[in-house]
Amino acid sequence: MEQKLFLGKSTSFLFGTLTYLVIMFCNLLVLTTIACTAKLHKPMFILLFNLPISDMLGATALFPQLVYSIVTQNRLISLPACVIQALLVHTYGGGNLLTLTAMAYDRYIAICCPLKYNAIMNPHTLVKMIVSIWSISISLIVVQLSLLARLKICRTNVIDLYCNNPSIVKLTCDDTRVNNYYGLFTIFICQAGPLSVILYTYAQILRTCVMNDQSNARKKAIQTCGTHLVIYFVLEFSAFIALIAHRIKIVSPYIRRALGVTILVIPPFFDPIIYGLKTKELKTGIKMFFKINVGL
């Protein structure tokens, strides 16, 4: 029995550690390639640059604490560490959704308004979009955690596999109506708003391709939009169900935990692979990066 427990513990430790290292390596590779390749200093890739930053925040929020818990067989976490973990988790979630939304808008302008692309997606616009992405993501969760600071913590059992705002709220004994109302507001800002933009922009992209009646253009647009939408809807669906599940008691906690882990594992793992392999310019940039720096 002890041997089986040790084997299971070792396997979980290795799997968690390797997954985290792969996520960090792939995302750092995308970051470095975009930063060091002059040909990639375009609006699309400058916006994409924010995605691996967000993904690394999400992976760092989950894996180090998870691996530590596996090694020590102890899920204890201090309140300050729990708050930091929640800050990273929600910043990652907001950052990812808003970055994907900005990228969808960029593709919409490129395909539907190509003659106006350079005028609209100028450096000034890019700076405003990037500042907005991170300002909204960070400010929303900082306000949430500030609202938590006024409440008395009277429980110690975090109901999820990692700390987030809803799970910390459930540790309090005071009236949490203000927190819940603000939580619903943040769900709308970070999910309903971006979802509306995503649906509109891709509907217009597909409409433009159909009207142009160009099979190659339509195929390219569908390929670009398809992978983008898959990643977006995995994150959107999982995050929405996981957050709403905290407010609906009949939902199984196991479903909420599974979706919660999916949010922090699937996009960070697959984003650099999808964009690295599906985007021709980035794929070429990565090959050149290895050729110059590694000698392959």
Enumerate the β-bridge partners of residue 153.
172
Write down the domain spans for the chain. 2-293
Residue 224 confidence (pLDDT)? 63
Tens digit of pLDDT at every position of the chain (296 positions): 555 555 666 788 888 899 999 999 999 999 998 988 888 889 989 999 999 999 999 999 999 998 888 888 777 888 888 899 999 999 998 999 899 999 989 988 988 888 899 999 999 999 999 999 999 999 999 998 898 888 888 877 887 788 888 888 888 888 888 888 888 888 888 888 888 898 898 888 878 877 765 556 556 666 667 777 777 887 788 787 777 777 777 667 777 788 888 888 888 998 888 877 667 777 777 777 666 665 55
Return the residue matching tokens 């699937």: 266
| Per-residue model confidence (pLDDT) at position 4 | 58
Q: Which residues contact 109 (CB under 8 A, 6 or more apart)?
A: 116, 117, 120, 121
Sign of the dihedral through C-alpha 27, 145, 166, 97: negative
CB 168 within 8 Å of CB 83: yes
Question: Looking at residue 277, what is its pLDDT?
Answer: 67
- Topology (CATH level 3) of domain 2-293: Rhopdopsin 7-helix transmembrane proteins (1.20.1070)
Q: What is the pLDDT of residues 38-61, one digit of tens each?
A: 888 899 899 999 999 999 999 999
- Number of residues that make up the chain: 296
DSSP letter (8 states) at residue 296: -
- 273 vs 13, 36, 279, CA distance in Å? 23, 19, 10
Q: At what angle do helices 177-187 and 215-245 cross, to 10 degrees?
A: 170
Q: Which amino acid is at 227?
A: T
Q: How far apart are CA 217 and CA 111, in angstroms?
A: 9
Residue 223, pLDDT score: 65
| SS3 sequence of 47-89 | HHCHHHHHHHHHHHHHHHHHHHHHHHCCCCCCHHHHHHHHHHH
Q: Helix, strand, or coil here: 153?
A: strand
Kindly state the helix (H) or strand (E) to which residue 287 belongs, with its residue range.
Answer: helix 280-293
pLDDT of residue 137: 92
3-state secondary structure of 122: coil
Q: Extract the runs of DSSP E, i.e. beta strands, from the chain.
A: none
| Cβ–Cβ under 8 Å, residues 268 and 59 | yes
- Burial of residue 261 (CB within 10 Å: 0-12, 13-18, 19+) is middle
Q: Looking at residue 219, what is its pLDDT?
A: 62
Confidence at residue 218, expressed as pLDDT on a 0 to 100 scale: 57
CA pair distance 89, 267, nearest whole angstrom? 13
Global pTM reads 0.88
